[in-house]
Structures are given as C-alpha cells and as structure tokens.
Structure 1
Amino acid sequence: MEEDAKPKSVPVLPWMRCPVDIDLFDECPLGLLPCLDPRLEKALQKIGVHSLFPVQVAVWQETIGPGAFERDICVNSPTGSGKTLAYALPIVQALSTRKLRCLRALVVLPTRDLAVQVKEVFASIAPSVGLSVGLAVGQSSIADEISELIKRPKHDMGVSLDPKELHVELQSAVDILVATPGRLMDHITTTKGFSLEHLCYLVVDETDRMLREAYQSWLPMVLQLSCSNDKAISNQARSGLNLFNSLTTIRRSGIERGFKGKTYPRLVKLILSATLTQDPSKLSQLALHHPFLLTSGDTRYKLPEKLKSYKLICESKLKPLYLVALLQHLSGEKCLVFTSSVESTHRLSILLKFFGDLPFKFSEYSGLQHQSVRSKALKAFRDGEIDVLVSSDAMTRGMDVEGVRNVINYDMPPYIKTYIHRAGRTARAGQSGCCFTLLRKNEVKRFKKILQKANNNSCSVHPLAADSVEHLRPMYSSALDKLKEVIDSETRKGNAGPNLRKSIKRKRGTDTPQE
C-alpha cells in the first residue's frame, strides 16, 4: 500500500520538522561554486552544464562546503530538479582527494535502466579526476561485470588461476559502483575480491521504493559490511557471507589499510526521493547519523514548477478514442503514456497498432518484455525514432528522457506519489511540459483530492473537438476484433498473463485496455 493511503497519525521525526528549504538557494555558475576542482568544472562544461540548480547548490554546501559530510543528508526534491548530479558531483570531488583504487562509493537504485542512467552521469565527470565507475545490474552477464569490477593480479594477465588462491590479491577495479539490489547481493555473496570494507559513501536513490520489502534484503548486509564499530555480525549477514566462506570483506574497526594510518571515515549516507517517506519505521532501517533534511518548499509533495496539468473527462468506452485523438493533436511532440499495469500497457499497445496509419510512431515499454526489447524501445524513444512510449509505472521512477513534452495518464494514478513520479518525466531541469489525465466522471472527485495533496488546484479541462473522436469509431470497432484475436493467440501459446484474457471477455464497446 502507498504510504499516503495510511492514516495521517504517523509521527514525524524531530529532524524532519525543521528542514532547509531548497527553494531559498539560487542557481550558481560553476565559476562561483566554492572549492570546485577545475578538472570537474571542465568536465561539466563539456556535457553542457555551466551552472548548478538549487538542489545541487544546497547539497554541495552540506558536503564540500561548510557541512563537509558531517551529517547524513536526506533530499526531498521534485523530479527533474537535478538530484543525480547533486550527489554525484560532491562524491566524485571528495573521492578525488585520495589516490587509492578501491570501492569507496555505492549507489543503489531500483531498476536497471535507472542505474544505467545514473552510471552515465558519474562516468561523464569521474574520469576527469582519475576515478573509475562500475555498473552492476540484472539481466546482463555477471562474468563480464566481474571482469570490469575486479582487478586481476599484475603477474597474471592471461593465465586462469584459482580465485581462492588469489583472494588476497584480488582488488576492486572501480572507485564508484552503481547497482541494483539483486545484482549487488550476487556480487557480495559470490564474487571473489568484491569488498565493501573501504566504503565511504552510500547513496539510496528512490528511497521510498528501495525500502519496500521486496528490496530490503540488501540493506542490512551493506550496513553490516561497511560498519566501522559493530563487532557482531547479524545472522542475516553471516548467512550471506558463508556463501563464499570469507570474512575478509567485513569492515574492521581501527586503522584502515591504504589510508595512511587514518581511522576509518564514517559511512556517509545520502537519501533521495521526490516523495521522501516520513515513516519512522522505514527510515530507522537506514541508521542515519544526525540526518539533515533538504526539501523543496513547505509541502512534502511538489510538482515541477513549469508543469501544466490538464484533465479529459470521457465515457469509459471512449477512453481509447480520446487517447488516440489527443495523441493526434500532439503529433510531433514526444509523449509518454502511462497505464495502471503491464497487462494494460500490453493491451493498449496492441490496440493502437490496429488503428490504421496514425501520424505518430509508438512502442510498448513494460515488464512483460525482455530487457533487451525494453532497452531497444527506450533508445528509440530517446533518439526520436518513435514519438510515443506506452508504459507501465516502470518508467516513472527517476528516468530522464530529454525532450519529453507531454505525459498522458491513460489510467488515473491512484495516489499523489504516482502522479508526481509520472508527471515528473516532463518539465524537467527548468523546461516546460504538460500532464494530461483521462478520467471517467466517477473519478473526477477522487482525482481532485489527489492533486490537492500537492497544492495543485489548477488542473483545467482540455477540450477535444467532437469530430476528432467520432471519426475514429469505425477503426476502433475493427481494432477491438483484432485485439481479441491477438490475445486469444497469445493465451494459446502461453504468452498472455491471466488478466489479459479476462479483460477481453468484457462486452464489446467497453474500455478494453483498462484494468
């Protein structure tokens, strides 16, 4: 269940009551940013960054500036405000002061595509100061990852030796690792030479999602292996360590190898989300050290400043027609269409294919597809080869696709969090954008209450000419028949989910693609 659906009696932690308002900060040209390494300034300019956004300036002040990483930092800032560079830049600068090749910064994210995106941000600046960045994600070759993450002994560059015999000689080949939870656990428990003993920085991006039960197993393990003072190993961590029969990756208290006699630095945590949880039971899992909260404005939920919200009210059976008419109206602009589930995304994508020659190119992006297919669709969308991407909520968290002008909620988002993360795919980095939501009449009141949680009362009705919908009816009738044939075929082949065939059995003319 989404957090905002819970009772409002959840207590707010004391440190969250007096946050620093990010909106009080101004953009800062790179030349005026204090202490910025000239090499990083050149790297940023090379990728088109000439000034920092307010959230980036605020985090810099609490890390490289007066704050100097003395406290763990929690950031609650709108999507598209620049949170990735906000933590990437100070971490890279801090690590560049010590010339030691070992894994010192770990960034954990919920999805492969988001991890790839964040890795690219780090990779655009880290090499300029001699740092290496690695990637550990699912649905890719773990053997290839190991060869990239672990440095083999210099005396053995071509002969295959037993890793057990060389365990003490295997070292990290990267300073910074961007990972998804599952693949991170794979490396912790099975990869020889993979160690968190030197870890200085832990970033938990998309924190709300990362603290859900499905993702939680990685967190206690990482905290144990990077903890400087705890001598006891939890049963959970011990069971994981036994998988590779080595305790050498446990971070020992006292003097650290390679840091010239200095004691271990405290593990600094940076926690970020556009909808940061206030639930003490969830936040307590992170073991935050005197946390410091940076937030945007006086509301927990905030939409991008230049986002315009619209609603289209229609009968249930006409929703697909309204969507096609709207996409035709927006033809030539990059659009993201969100549905409530992977099944709904799949059905809607199939249905659109049977509408004839539409003036836009589109593709499906959902969990029903193999990763390679999703990646190909996303690349085509980024490159402008397709105009419309029909997606489940897999795209809502953190994904940054340049040039998205419109977000369309084909299915009404059930919670304000969902709306914020969907709408945040447009109007990013100070650009303008629109978010359209298709609503049945009985959803209008609920939708208004959802937007009020973000202090948004300016969602006007977007008109569509009646004839732009009516002339689609004949194509829609034919498309429904073809959709049924495809779903029946997929069901016989075992490729259709259980909800697909059930939804098709609805009477002709109802909102077939809708859950």
Structure 2
Amino acid sequence: MGREEDDKAERETDCVVPWMRTPVDVSNVENWALETLPCLNPKLKKALEKMGISSLFPVQVAVWHETIGPGGFERDLCVNSPTGSGKTLSYALPIVQSLASRAVRCLRALVVLPTRDLALQVKEVFDAIAPAVGLTVGSAVGQSSIAGEISQLIKTPKLDAGICYDPEDISQNLESAVDILVATPGRLMDHINNTKGFTLEHLRYLVVDETDRLLREAYQSWLPTVLKLTQTSDNGLFPSSSPFVPSTFGSLQTVRRQSVERGFKGKPYPRLAKMVLSATLTKDPSKLIQLDLHHPLFMTTGESRYRLPEKLECLRLICETELKPVYLVALLKSWEGEKSIIFTSSVESTRRLCKLLNFFGDSKIRAKEYSGGLNQSVRSKELKAFRKGDIQVLVASDALTRGMDVKGVTNVINYDMPPFAKTFIHRAGRTARAGQAGKCYTILSDHEVRRFSKLLKKVGSGSCPIYSIPPATFDAVRATYEPALEKLQESVESEAPRKRRQALKHNPRTGNYKTKRSKTTSEQA
C-alpha cells in the first residue's frame, strides 16, 4: 500500500463495526500480583518468577480474565494497547496454561507476526514459560533452511532396520514435534504448501500480532488459507440472538454468554479461538471482516485509537535542515552513552547517517545500522550487541518500529519526521516500556513544524516542548562536522563504482541503469 492509501486509511475512522463501539477499557484494570491471579498453574508461576515477573500488567490481567477466567475463551479478542504494555505475555500465558492439560502432542497454537526479528522475540517469551508445563515451541521464520525447520517441526516415526517401508505409509505417520508455532506468513505458507506432515487440523488458537500490518499486506493469502484449513462445517452453532450477560470478576467487567457449548457438535476439537493485537489496531470493517471473528470483544485503553506510553516524554528540536546531523550528535554527546535508537525514513538514509556518526570520531558514540538492507544474521548480530550494551546507538529504518523490545532504551530520536501518526506511535514505543520512563525527540526543519503539530493531535500528545542544545555543546560539535562530512563524501564516491556494477548486473536486458538527481550529502544524511 502506498503512502496516499495508508494516509486515507488512517482518516477513515467514522465507519466502525458495532462491537468496537462498546469496548472493555483496560485502563480501569490494576496490576495483579501472581499470588492473587486465579487459576494460575504453579509451574507457570515459578517460570514467571524466574523471568523476574511478580505481577501482571493491566492488559495481561484483562486478557487472562477473558480467557482463563470467567470469559473462558468464549469470544475472540481484539486488543488495542500501547507499545510496551505487555501484549505478548497477555496471549502467551493463557495459551500455555490452557494447553498444559493436554497430553497429546500436535500443533494447537499458531502465532503469526510480520517480521523475523519480532517472531524470534515472541518465541523467546514462549520458550521461557512453555517448557515448564511440558510444551514445545517451534518457529517458522526463514532464519534457517526450510529443511532445518522441517526437522524441528515434524517428528518422523522410528523405523526398524532391515525392513522396507512404503514411503506413503511413512508420510501418513508423520507427527508434529511442537505444540506451539511462531511464524512469519511467508514461511508459514511454505510449510502449508510443501511440508509433509504439517497440518493445522488440530489448531485451537490463532494469534495475529501486529494485526494492522498483517492485514494491510497479502503475504501470499496466508490468512484465508489458514482459516479455510481450520473451518468446520457447523457454522450455525452460535446464533447471533444468543443472550449475553455481564459478570464482574475483580475490577474488570466481562461479557459472557449463557449456555454456550464449548465444542463443535460432532467435532473432537473446540472452535478456533482468535486473538488479534496491535498498538494501532485498525477499525476498518473491510479489513476486520477478513479475520472471521467469533462474537469479538474489543479491549482497549481509553477512547483514542492511538495512545503513547504513560511515562513517555515528547520533545522537539527545530533547526536548519543542513545542520540536522550537528543537532543529533550534540544530543548524543549529552547522554554519556545512554542506549538510544535513531529512526530515519529509508534504508539508504539509515546507512549514510550511521556512517556519518562514526566519522565524527567520538568514542562515546558507537553507532550501528539496523535496516531491511541488511541480511537477517547481520541484523540479529547488531541487535544482540545493542541489547548487551556493546553498542550505544542504533540507527534504524522503520524495520525496528513494531513490537521490538530492547530493555534499557532511554531515548528515541526521530531524525526524519514520521509520515503518519501510527509510525510515530510505534517508533516512540521503543522506549518507556513496561512502566519505565523514556524520552522521544523529533528533529524538525522549519517547514515541518506545522505538520508535526497536526500529527501530535492525532496521537493525543498534549505536550511536546521545544528542547534547546546548549550553545557551547553545539559549537564544539559543529567544528567537527565538516571533516566528518568530507569522509562521508569520500565513502559515498568510493561505493559508486560498485553500485554501478551491481545495477548493470541486475539489468542485463538494457545494459544500463537509471539515476535520479542526487541530493547533497548533508541532505541524504
């Protein structure tokens, strides 16, 4: 989807499905200590404590009540909650708890996410709690070869030596080696189409995380394929006229249905329960209908679609366009090595800005690039170093905006102004996570100030004061700017022949390549 379509989609908020007009307000729920959480498996409680968790956040408590509590997974859940509020554990914990009592190993829970890094991060959460109750978690993200994934996902029956087996008999006896699968849509489709023994016929739970992005892009029609493979023939089991009654559980009101039959008539498995989540959940009926939700319950924090983390402080710097790098370095120097993420508008801008920062020669500013222009192994390596603190600054494209959780990120900087309100929400949400404090700075040129003010109104930020760099700090950085810029220019020129050769290689029909008028190096940085 292009920017014009995306912007139009953001503006279309008047047409809302009826069930979204009466949400459960999660902001009215308080943290609950693990000791007071009803029905929590003691083994899961110990696993959570090993993770350093002693209580659950409001969204986690609310989802627990609607799944393991009186809600009993009777309705599909749509969760719109700020970044850093704990959405991953909110679905991981009840799914693991509900599967713990089943002895047969088969694929019963599927979690789909838009990117590899996010999928691997979510798998780490499941890995921390699922083994405690004997469950196995697998991943299908394309990080390793598909053959390697198949060996982890599918269990081959033991064969006696010296006996000749029919390959068809072997394939019919293949079994799932995992109870829970965390996947990206492309690799999921690879396994659905090509992997013998891979089946969704026993699936009980489907989680669609970062829903708005997964619905915006087709990803090989993964969603209709999954729903078709898990459909049942009895679609009239729950008539729309079934009465609903409110019940109160702690501080949260839940909505339950009287006399609900949990399973399908004549079917060995209950219905496919769905949970969809995002910090910027779409309200577009044409998109939500694709999910085929069952009496959905909308859970959100407040009335606004967009909500920033509670302890986030927003600040802005206004400067001349050509001096943006100077303001940026002056900011970084003042923080004495605090973990910071800098967001740019493109892969190329990310690469050049990262190089420029390192050309300043300040030992306190060690910057690395994180963007879609790098392969998965390099991105994972840089992210691991950033998490450990070996790198203080990560210069990122919007590949890092959604869901990625890095502890200890104190500052987020919008080097390039975010184009949309939801982009700002996801970028800012890399700090001030899990109840911690954080700051989000946006560097603006004069002509961007008005547009940024409109964006702030959309995200509900009532305050974004101007931040001023001390003159002495600014002057000291500016003195080193020209030498750094010259080094960047030399680097860019040295790369040009290589890129030209790559362009020629990738266009064998024409034997040429197209170029646009280049911006100045400072503009590109």
TM normalised by structure 2 equals: 0.88
Q: Which residue of 2 aligns with 1:305?
A: 310
Q: Which residue identity does 2:111 align to in structure 1?
A: V
SS in 2 for 1:511: helix
Unaligned runs of 5+ in 1: 232-252, 257-262
Q: What is the letter of the counterpart of residue 458 of structure 2?
A: K
Which residue identity lines up with residue 384 of structure 1 in the other structure? G
In the TM superposition, what is the alpha-carbon distance from 1:145 to its structure 2 partner? 0.9
| 8 Å contact from structure 1 (residues 503, 512) kept in 2 | no
SS of 1:211 mapped into structure 2 = helix
Match of 2:447 in 1: 442
- In structure 2, what is the equivalent of residue 280 of structure 1? 285
Distance 2:201 2:164 in 1: 26
- 1:511 paired with 2:495, answer no
Q: Which residue of 2 aligns with 1:419?
A: 424
Return closer, same or farther for 1:107/1:164 CA change in 2, 3 Å cut-off.
Answer: same
Q: Which residue of 2 aligns with 1:19?
A: 23
For 1:260, the equivalent position in structure 2 comes to none
- Say if 1:409 and 1:507 are closer, same or farther in 2 by CA, change over 3 A: closer
Partners of 2:38 and 2:69 within 8 A in 1: yes
The 8 Å contact of residues 318 and 511 in structure 1, kept in 2 or not, is answered as no
Aligned to 1:360, which of 362, 365, 368? 365
Distance apart, 1:506 and its partner CA: 3.2
C-alpha distance in structure 2 between counterparts of 1:160 and 1:339, whole Å: 60
Aligned with 2:313: secondary structure?
Answer: strand
- Distance change >3 Å, CA 156–CA 318, structure 1 → 2: farther
Aligned partner of 1:238 in structure 2 is none
Q: How does 1:354-433 map to 2 (within 5 A)?
A: 354-433=359-438
User: Could you report, residue by residue, the CA deviation over 1:267-306 in whole angstroms, capped at 9, with x for unpaired residues?
Assistant: 0000000000000000011001110000001211100000
Number of aligned positions between the proteins: 483
Judge conservation of contact 1:343–1:497 (CA < 8 Å) in 2.
no
After TM superposition, give the deviation of residue 226 of structure 1 in Å: 1.1
- Select which of 353, 362, 369 maps to 1:348: 353
Matched residue SS, 1:298: coil
CA distance in 2, matches of 1:38, 1:26: 22
Q: d(CA) in 2 for partners of 1:363 and 1:49?
A: 31
1:70 maps to 2:69: no
Q: Which residue of 1 aligns with 2:272?
A: 267
Secondary structure of 1:178 counterpart: strand
Residue 400 to residue 160, structure 1, CA distance change in 2 (3 Å): farther
Cα 1:327/1:214, change in 2 over 3 Å: farther
Deviations 1:290-346 (A, max 9, x none): 100000012111000000000000000000110011011112210000001111101
State how far apart, in whole Å, the 1-side matches of 2:308 and 2:319 are: 25
Equivalent position SS for 1:385: coil
1:473 matched to which residue of 2? 478
Distance 1:161 1:437 in 2: 65
SS at match of 1:195: coil
Distance in 1 separating the partners of 2:394 and 2:155: 40
Contact 1:254–1:264 (Cα < 8 Å) also in 2: no
Pick from 145, 168, 171 the counterpart of residue 167 of structure 1.
171
> Which residue of the partner structure matches residue 116 of structure 1?
120
Q: State how far apart, in whole Å, the 1-side matches of 2:374 and 2:416 are.
A: 20
1:36 maps to which of 40, 45, 50:
40
Measured in 2, the distance between the counterparts of 1:54 and 1:158 equals: 59
Change (3 A) 1:177 1:440: same
**1:453 alignment partner, one of 438, 448, 458:** 458
Q: Answer with 135-144 or 89-98: which moved more.
A: 135-144
Partner of 1:107: 111
Task: Find the aligned partners of 1:448 and 1:157 in 2 and give their Cα distance.
Answer: 73
Percent identity over the alignment is: 62
* TM-score, normalised by the number of residues in structure 1: 0.89
Shift of 1:487: 2.1
**Residues 144-183 of structure 1 aligned to structure 2 (within 5 Å):** 144-155=148-159, 164-183=168-187
Partner of 2:256: none
Amino acid corresponding to residue 26 of structure 1 in structure 2: E
Instruction: Give the aligned CA root-mean-square deviation in angstroms.
Output: 2.2
Residues in 1 aligned to 2:494 and 2:430: alpha-carbon distance in whole angstroms: 34
Please point out which of 209, 215, 219 is paired with 1:211: 215
Match of 1:140 among 138, 144, 150: 144
SS in 2 for 1:364: strand
Q: Distance in 1 between matches of 2:407 and 2:389?
A: 10
Distance 1:318 1:299 in 2: 36
* Shift in CA distance, 389/173, structure 1 to aligned 2, threshold 3 Å: same
SS of the residue 1:494 aligns to? helix
SS in 1 for 2:336: coil
